[in-house]
Amino acid sequence: MIKELFFIKKTDDPYIRHLFSMACILIVFVIGYLQRELAFASFGAFGIVTFNYYKPFPRKYLTKYLFLIGIFMASSNLLGMCASHFRWTAPIAVGVVAFLGRFFFRLYKIEKPGPYFSVMFVSIGVSSNLDFAKIPLMTLFFMAGVLVAIIMALILSLFDKRHVISYGQQVAFKERLIDDPSVIIDSYFYGAILFFAAYLSFSLKLYNPYWLVISCAAILQGSNFRDVFSRHIQRIIGTIIGLIIAALMLEVHWNTLDQMFVISILYMIVDFFSKKNYTVLLFFSTPMALMLSNLVHHQYVSTLVQYRFISILLGSLLGLISAWLITKVIRFYVHNKHFIDHLKKNKL
């Protein structure tokens, strides 16, 4: 496990892909800066996350694939922003998006980050408290970011020398469900855990309550309990180092343009390590997230760092405990199923 903390995995991603990811966020930042609309820079940055799902698919299929993912993420954020006006519905919105995201992303075999970003955006939405009149405009900014991501993904496909992935014959929804019936139970557990995470974060009145939910969702990305436990350790260590870096960076008096440029560089580095090493990724994603938060809402550095650490610690622990409980329940079910089958077989 110690080796896994800093082991750099090899991937087949072309280096030019990371430059394109930086170009995506730079484009929305430049547009927002020139229009003197930092909300466009913020919500447009949410939309360009669609680029993270890039695969070397045929271009026609790639466009449809990214557009549907972008629509789901934007709809999740929209639902969250609407739910923020009825506080009691906030955990329900998070739970519904988590369930639907886990269900469809697993059923259609959309790999990591899977539904993580959808959960992140609905959580940010329920913490936003934007006026109803501004919500449609913010969703439009989000979709502008999605459009930028799709255009950049199509341009990247012209330079990507990897073998084009054939998506083969289309499989009907019913057949997918028959092949993977446990997806319903898995999605239910995932949605219920994140429902509780959202309820807990708002009950504790945490600063930026979505941090706890996002942390819990990140831990639950593990495919088994050992993987979840590894991510828990990696997240704690990576966050501590990332917060130290963030505290130093936020002490520098950056102007708006400087902050945008630094965030863009950090975004490229995060994209580079996204599939290579989770611990190192957090060294850069933590200061990036705090700088992006500080870009729109200027806040005290000590407040940001303190509450970020508390939220991530609580969210990681909740994710770890939930994964442990699910593992125990599944083992209990499997053990008793064999016992019951044995009784039936022997007519006892």
Smallest CA-to-CA distance from 100 within 110, 87, 85 is with 110
Average pLDDT, the chain: 85
Rounded to a whole number of angstroms, the distance between the first and last alpha carbons of the chain is 46
This prediction's pTM: 0.88
Burial of residue 348, with CB atoms counted within 10 A of its CB: 0-12 exposed, 13-18 middle, 19 or more buried? exposed
- Quote the pLDDT of residue 248: 86
Confidence of residue 346 (pLDDT cuts 50, 70, 90): low
Per-position DSSP letters for 314-340, written without gaps between them: HHHHHHHHHHHHHHHHHHHHHHHHHHH
CB atoms under 10 Å from CB of 285, counted, come to: 23
Residue 8 within a domain:
no
Can you tell me the mean pLDDT for 17-37?
A: 91
Would you state the pLDDT for residue 279?
A: 87
Q: DSSP string covering 222-275, please?
A: -SSHHHHHHHHHHHHHHHHHHHHHHHHHHTS---HHHHHHHHHHHHHHHHHHTT
Instruction: Note whether residue 3 is domain-resident.
Output: no
Average pLDDT over residues 22-37: 91
Looking at the 3D structure of the chain, how many domains does it have?
A: 1
Q: Is the pLDDT of residue 261 over 80?
A: yes
Evaluate if residue 170 carries a pLDDT over 50: yes
Confidence category of residue 343, pLDDT binned at 50, 70, 90? very low
With H, G, I as helix, E, B as strand and everything else as coil, classify residue 58: coil
What tens digit of pLDDT does each residue of 113-160 get?
Answer: 889 999 999 999 998 888 888 999 999 999 999 999 999 999 999 998
In a domain, 27, yes or no: yes
Residue 6 inside a domain? The answer is no
90 in a structural domain: yes
Q: Is residue 36 part of a domain?
A: yes
CB 197, CB 212: distance < 8 Å:
yes
At residue 109, the pLDDT reads 85
Q: Is the pLDDT of residue 339 over 70?
A: no
Higher pLDDT residue, 304 or 229? 229
Range of the domain at 207: 13-164+172-345
317 in a structural domain: yes
Q: Residue range 222-239: average pLDDT?
A: 82
Mean of pLDDT values over 19-28 = 94
Question: Quick one: pLDDT at residue 301?
Answer: 54
